[in-house]
Amino acid sequence: MSIRLSDDDLLLVIDVQNDFCAGGALAVADGDAVVPVINRLTERFGHVALTQDWHPSGHSSFATSHPGSAAFETIRMPYGEQTLWPDHCVQGTTGAAFHRQLATERAELVIRKGFRPEIDSYSAFHENDRRTPTGLAGYLRERGLQRIFLAGLATDYCVYYSAMDARRLGFDTVIIEAGCRAIDLAGSLGAAWAAMAAAGVQRVNDLG
């Protein structure tokens, strides 16, 4: 599918960080493969923003913060169900840094998320309580950016949550599948694609 880009389009690059790539604490299978795709896409957009997972040590989403629990278990938190993760993207560590081959020079904005110790944050727009905003929506509206193209890691978590929030907030939303990779935990990828389709998220393999 060929899509004509305009000056009110934004490429939103989700969490292409060392801990989500090969050798990282929460590596997504084939995660490194998104880097050349995203670098190529970056050259085509007039506006680019990045998100960066940015957890303090001992974050409440880490399995190590819950004695007796294991990574990938689900627990109840005050804001709802929370998957427990291996310690990852700890502020200031190499794991939290962007992949060294990711082209970041043209990014106009970096949104850090997950820095509140008591709540996780998958979406680029809201923390997992679905109420606390990151400020991204206001930024996009003030800049007059109306259509959001998403790529990054992982399709079924941070990309998915970001896309769903973008639609809920009234933005036209497109997932570029070639620039994403998934965790697919207990069928999460299929569920994410179904929910995004129902919400009106457009899915393309790549930009022709």
Is residue 123's pLDDT more than 90? yes
Find the mean pLDDT for residues 119-138.
96
Is residue 30's pLDDT more than 60? yes
Is residue 134's pLDDT more than 90? yes
Query: What confidence score (pLDDT) does residue 84 get?
Result: 96
Whether the CB-CB separation of 62 and 86 falls below 8 Å is answered with: yes
The DSSP line for 56-68 is PTT-TTBGGGSTT
∠ Cα 147 148 154 (to 5°): 160
pLDDT above 90 as % of the chain: 97
Average pLDDT, the chain: 96
Q: Which of 9, 15, 19, 165 is catalytic?
A: 15
Let me know if 172 is a catalytic residue.
no
Q: Which of 9, 113, 156, 180 is catalytic?
A: 113
Q: Which of 53, 158, 165, 180 is catalytic?
A: 158
Strand, helix or coil at 188?
helix
Is residue 179's pLDDT more than 90? yes
Let me know if 158 is a catalytic residue.
yes
The pTM for the full model equals 0.96
Q: Within 13 Å and on the Cβ side, how many CA atoms surround 178? A: 12
pLDDT tier for residue 185 given thresholds of 50, 70 and 90: confident
Is residue 166's pLDDT more than 70? yes
Is residue 74's pLDDT more than 60? yes
Let me know if 206 is a catalytic residue.
no
